Amino acid sequence: MAYVPQHRHDIFFSYAHEDDSDWIKAFCDSLRSELVRAVGPTFSTWQDTANLRFGQRWPDQIEEGITGAALFLAVCSPSYDRSPWCAREWQTFFARNQASPDDPTPLKVGETGAYRFVKTVMRLNQERRRIFPNFQELRLHDDQGFEYAPDSREFRQLVRKAARDLGFVLESMRRSQVGVFLAAPAPDVWEDREALLRELTADFDVRPNFQLSAAYPVEDLRAALQGAQLAVFTLGALHDDYVQKQIDEATQLGIPIAYWLDARKGTPEPDQSRLLAALRDRGCPVLNGLSGIQVAEQVIARLRAQSSPAANKEKSVFLLYDSTTPADGDFANGPLAQMIRDHGLTVFTPDAKLGPADRLQGRDQFLEKFDGVLLYRDQAPEGWLWPNVMELSVAETTKSCVLAPSQADVFSRFVPVIPRAADFGPRHLAPFFEQLAKAEHARP
């Protein structure tokens, strides 16, 4: 299984066996480790560690490795340039993508031919620098042409840079091959649907690619739904029978459903109210926001959680707020909790009958039962905030606070603070999620 859908592997490593095997191993292993951290445990590589090239016949395993990988990484050197096996590998890669060294234009990010060449040069003169001149490259050598030692600071920095760049390319490729069904809406939310379409089209395979309506046969609807990882519905006040039909078909195909409810459209019609109640009863997530950008962020977060559940499946977050302050409880239990769930995490709150955790004096051991704790405060009394922040500051868990911007400087001395911006959304929680992913803390 690979991170990029429809591929057996994410990366094929191409290198010369005549090169220093310890250096090659250090580079491949280091880059692989960094990419696992960057994109998750589903990341997969193909590397010839069994000396398959020794023999007279071109091994089928190598050709399958090249044709089944999303990216082809060539670790170039004078030995690589002389190797007939390496030449055969990149020629196979080009042939697969209907490209050539002189015309690499068919190799585009977001398609199966996306590529990046990593070049290490050993005692290479200026004439040899013509090796693969048209390709993206990262040079792992000094000005004299000597490769950096694996234990050097320069080597580690360049590997991390390569991992960041490749992670971006892999993410772009993955999104372009993830199918999102964006349903035909009722007339009152057509503009919402079009705004969301503009945001999602750049990153995903949005279906259908035509103006679907009740005039089309059901076979066309099913074909548009087939293979989609998520079905997204834009809903307002008006009820539309064809929207219900699309929901029914997505349900029959087992496709997860999420919906954007635009409350600005007024009070829902009776039939629409019944539809919304049915979606809530089924546990379909509601996407909150006033713009396509805000809703698209939540779609991306939900698709990430679906594509790599193993990383977050067992992790939990305690969402701490003052349960006696209704305004804080409404936001924490609503949009904030949903953003955390969309990241594939289990949410616990003070209302979950887990003990008097909304008064945390002496409760640090209770907090340490969770992988992370996120404190939210807007209108709760100052007398509630200070003792909770102090107790949270000593808890051995990933932690952060979502507070008004005016409070950030005061409390950031004790606990990481995320200011609650006017357009607060999943991207603002990214630092908390990143720390949670890195933390070694585990629930007992």
Q: Over range 34-42, report the average pLDDT.
A: 79
The helix or strand, by DSSP H or E, that contains position 95, with its residue range, turns out to be helix 84-96
CATH architecture for the domain at 310-438: 3-Layer(aba) Sandwich (3.40)
First to last CA, the chain: 30
What letter would DSSP give residue 331? H
The helix or strand, by DSSP H or E, that contains position 14, with its residue range, turns out to be strand 9-15
**Local confidence band at 48 (pLDDT 50, 70, 90 cut-offs):** low
What residues does CATH 3.40.50.300 cover in the chain? 181-305
Q: Over range 300-305, report the average pLDDT.
A: 75
For residue 354, the model assigns a pLDDT of 39
List alpha helices for 284-363, DSSP H.
Answer: 292-307, 309-312, 326-331, 337-342
What residues does CATH 3.40.50.2300 cover in the chain? 310-438
What is the per-residue pLDDT across 95-113, written as a single tens digit (0 to 9) for each? 777 766 566 555 554 444 4
* Pairing relationship of beta strands 286-287 and 417-419 according to DSSP bridges: unpaired
Q: Could you identify the residue written with the tokens 């507070």?
A: 403
For residue 52, the model assigns a pLDDT of 47
Distances (CA, A) of 186 to 237, 243, 274: 9, 7, 15
Q: Check: CB of residue 62 under 8 Å from CB of residue 187.
A: no
Q: Over range 20-43, report the average pLDDT.
A: 84
Name residues whose C-beta falls within 8 Å of residue 143's C-beta, 6 or more positions apart in sequence: none
CATH architecture for the domain at 181-305: 3-Layer(aba) Sandwich (3.40)
% the chain with pLDDT above 90? 20
Q: What is the mean pLDDT of the chain?
A: 79
Q: Over range 113-117, report the average pLDDT.
A: 50
HEC profile of 26-64: HHHHHHHHHHHHHHCCCCCEECCCCCCCCCCCCCHHHHH
Distances (CA, A) of 255 to 160, 281, 284, 356: 37, 17, 11, 39
Check the CA dihedral 46-48-53-54 and report its sign: negative
* 226 beta partners: none
CA distance 359 to 357: 5
What is the per-residue pLDDT across 183-195, written as a single tens digit (0 to 9) for each? 999 999 999 999 9
Query: Is the pLDDT higher at 125 or at 247?
Result: 247
CA distance 362 to 385: 15
For residue 304, the model assigns a pLDDT of 67
- State yes or no: pLDDT of 441 exceeds 50: no
Name residues whose C-beta falls within 8 Å of residue 435's C-beta, 6 or more positions apart in sequence: 372, 398, 400, 416
- State yes or no: pLDDT of 89 exceeds 70: yes
- Fold annotation for 9-176: Rossmann fold (3.40.50)
* Pairing relationship of beta strands 69-76 and 346-348 according to DSSP bridges: unpaired
- State yes or no: pLDDT of 443 exceeds 70: no
Q: At what angle do helices 292-307 and 190-201 cross, to 10 degrees?
A: 50
What residues does CATH 3.40.50.10140 cover in the chain? 9-176
For residue 82, the model assigns a pLDDT of 83
* Pairing relationship of beta strands 316-320 and 372-376 according to DSSP bridges: parallel
CA 300 to the chain's CA centroid: 7
CA distance 283 to 236: 19
For residue 435, the model assigns a pLDDT of 84
